[in-house]
Amino acid sequence: MDHPIQTLAVIGAGAMGSGIAALYAAKGIDVVLIDPVPGALSRAAEVIDRQLGVYAPDGVAEARRRIRMDEGLEAACAGDLVIEAIPEKLELKRNVFARLDTLCPAESIFATNTSGLSINAIADSVTRRDRFVGTHFFTPADVIPLVEVVRNDDTSTDTVERVMASLRYVGKRPVLVNRDIPGFIANRIQHALAREAISLLEQSVASAEDIDEVVKWSLGIRLAITGPLEQRDMNGIDVHHAIATYLYPDLENRTTPSPLLAQKVADGHLGAKTGQGFYSWPAETREQTLRDKSATLTELVALLQKRRAD
Ligand SMILES: NC(=O)c1ccc[n+]([C@@H]2O[C@H](COP(=O)([O-])OP(=O)(O)OC[C@H]3O[C@@H](n4cnc5c(N)ncnc54)[C@H](O)[C@@H]3O)[C@@H](O)[C@H]2O)c1
């Protein structure tokens, strides 16, 4: 299937919405980017220029011309695919989709970029459940290749195929998640890893820097080449079984967020966006760090894609 989408509408011009808009515009698709919150669209314009400058330096002006910005939800009716990227609140998402359902042509496909809320619960707010799907991008949305496509119980095969074709056209590697399970695949694995890392920090087993150093330069670097199941085959499943037998009883298995996490939220130490999290993020270095991260990820993705193609 060629590219089945002529115009993309993106609802929410924050970190994810801006990245998705930049990605599609850089690939020649017209985009309407919608956000009613004062100041959001001008902030998005800065983010989009920064991102396009990293991976499409010769096409910034052309790509920017393809992105129309609007404060009103009515503008979404131009999109044959409408991707929602507003805050992770179920009722907010349901309200926005209920309105979109009355505004947009019946044939438009709706997608939510929720990180892990139930796709069925969000899809209940529209009459077009067969044309409703989850598209879970990863940050930076325009750089990380994978997108989890999650169907609700009524999503049609045609909808899945059109959304997957559209994602492939803009260079993504979509994977279909067969069941609407909380956190889908990636966030379940990511949170299992983060729960253990935070627990190790709480127990003073090592500093935050050293815990990150261990993951970045061992598991992290290897995971880009061999996934966790493939790696078990390399290590030997008998070896994994033996380690799992003595290790699992000792692993963190709490079912609520750790007190350390709760304290950081209460103190307003929310990470890079507030200047303090597990690390300090001075405003003067934060932008540069984000830019460097995007540039390095772009190089790494290009290298890995070349390796797969060879
Ligand atoms: N940040 C991530 O790493 C990440 C990764 C994957 C998925 N997600 C998911 O993507 C979604 C967006 O996350 P984000 O990080 O971009 O959030 P964000 O806070 O950066 O952006 C949200 C945007 O939505 C806008 N908004 C608020 N109410 C709105 C409304 N009624 N209509 C239109 N726009 C509205 C806000 O002005 C803001 O610009 C969430 O569901 C989140 O869970 C985030």
Residues 173 and 196 both lie in one domain: no
Question: Percent of the chain at pLDDT above 90?
Answer: 86
pLDDT, tens only, 249-270? 999 999 999 999 999 999 999 9
Establish if 276 belongs to a structural domain. no
Residue among 34, 37, 185 whose CB has most ligand 1 atoms within 8 A, to mutate: 37
Looking at the structure, tell me whether residues 122 and 219 fall in a common domain: no
Q: Is the pLDDT of residue 1 over 60?
A: no
Name the average pLDDT for the chain.
95
Q: What is the CATH number of the domain that holds 240?
A: 1.10.1040.10
**Number of independent structural domains in the chain:** 2
Same domain, 210 and 116: no
Residue-level pLDDT at 280: 95
151 and 205 fall within a common domain = no
Q: What is the residue-wise DSSP string for the chain?
A: -----SEEEEE--SHHHHHHHHHHHHTT-EEEEE--STTHHHHHHHHHHHHHHHH-GGGHHHHHHTEEEESSGGGGGG-SEEEE---S-HHHHHHHHHHHHHHS-TT-EEEE--SSS-HHHHHTTSS-GGGEEEEE--SSTTT--EEEEEE-TT--HHHHHHHHHHHHHTT-EEEEESS--TTTTHHHHHHHHHHHHHHHHHTTSS-HHHHHHHIIIIIIHHHTTS-HHHHHHHH-HHHHHHHHHHHGGGS---SS--HHHHHHHHHT--BGGGTBSSSB--HHHHHHHHHHHHHHHHHHHHHHHHHHH-
pLDDT of 20-38, one tens digit each? 999 999 999 999 999 999 9
- The rounded Å distance from CA 222 to ligand 1 centre is 31
Q: Are residues 73 and 208 in the same domain?
A: no
Residue 205 shares a structural domain with residue 222 = yes
* Segment 47-81, tens digit of pLDDT: 999 888 877 888 889 999 999 999 999 999 999 99
From the CA of 218, how far away is ligand 1's center (Å)?
Answer: 32
Answer yes or no: do 199 and 173 share one domain. Answer: no
Calculate mean pLDDT across residues 94-115.
97
Q: Is residue 272 part of a domain?
A: no
Domain span at residue 85 reads: 7-177
User: Which residue's CA is minimally distant from atom 18 of ligand 1?
Assistant: 14
**Which of 221, 240, 256 is the last residue in one of the domains?**
256
Reported as a single tens digit per residue, the pLDDT across 161-211 is 999 999 999 999 999 998 899 999 999 999 999 999 999 999 999 999 999
Ligand 1 pocket member 18 (CB < 6 A)? no
Is residue 33 assigned to a domain?
Answer: yes
Question: What is the model's pLDDT at position 277?
Answer: 97
For 267-287, what is each residue's pLDDT tens digit?
A: 999 999 899 999 999 988 888
Instruction: Give 68 Cα–ligand 1 centroid separation in angstroms.
Output: 18
Q: How far is the CA of 5 from the centre of ligand 1 (A)?
A: 22
Domain end among 233, 256, 279: 256
Residues 193 and 154 in one domain: no
The CATH code of the domain that includes 22 is: 3.40.50.720
In the chain, % of residues over pLDDT 70: 99
* Domain end marker among 207, 224, 256: 256
Residue 240 a catalytic site member: no
Residue 19 Cβ < 6 Å to ligand 1: no
Q: Do 190 and 235 fall into the same domain?
A: yes
Residues 161 and 28 in one domain: yes
Q: Are residues 237 and 110 in the same domain?
A: no
In a domain, 298, yes or no: no
**Considering 118, 120, 187, 258, which one is annotated as catalytic?**
187
270 CB within 6 A, ligand 1: no
Q: Does residue 273 lie within any of the structural domains?
A: no
Within a domain: residue 269? no
Same domain membership, residue 230 and residue 193: yes
